Amino acid sequence: MITLTIILETLVQIIGRTPFWVWVVLFVLIKRGIKLSQDNSVSLGRSVIMPFIFIYWGLDRVLESFKYPLLTLILYVPMILVGAFFGYLLYRNRKYYVKNNILFQEGSWLPLVIILINFSFKYILNVYMSVNAESMRILNFNLIYAIISGATVGLFLGSLFKSYRAKQLLMG
């Protein structure tokens, strides 16, 4: 039976072995998510940053380490579209308005929740791969990684598309 001590020791090792840049990324993402909880101006350029971070993080791992990168990518891309569809649905009630010829969106805690879910899935998958390096050579794991990574990145893109549509409708 696993004791609480073993679980805590394992968690300390995992957290301690996590590269510093991962904690910096988490801090920046949380800061951005908190900012999005308040009404703020919409910058489509800034909105691309988070999806880019997660896409880069996922693709770098797939292309550098996976035994089946092509099959993984073949599944990854459609899963981005699935995630984008659900992301758009999640943000369907988000309100936008124009003030001083600038597009604003009402604040919501939903982006922070999506950021934390995205980060958590990526972190857990990467910890698993670090602990079990063989997983990157197993087709089923490669495909599971593609499904999770693609769908979670797509959530961001659904939000981005919703903002883009609001800009088209409200600002011409």
pLDDT tens per residue, range 47-60? 888 788 878 888 88
CA distances from 110 to 9, 13, 26, 116, 130 (A): 33, 31, 16, 10, 30
pLDDT tens per residue, range 89-143? 999 999 999 999 999 999 999 999 989 998 999 899 988 988 888 999 999 999 9
| Rounded Cα gap, residues 18 and 23, in angstroms | 8
| Domain spans, the chain | 4-171
Total-model pTM: 0.81
**How far does CA 38 lie from the centroid of its chain?**
20
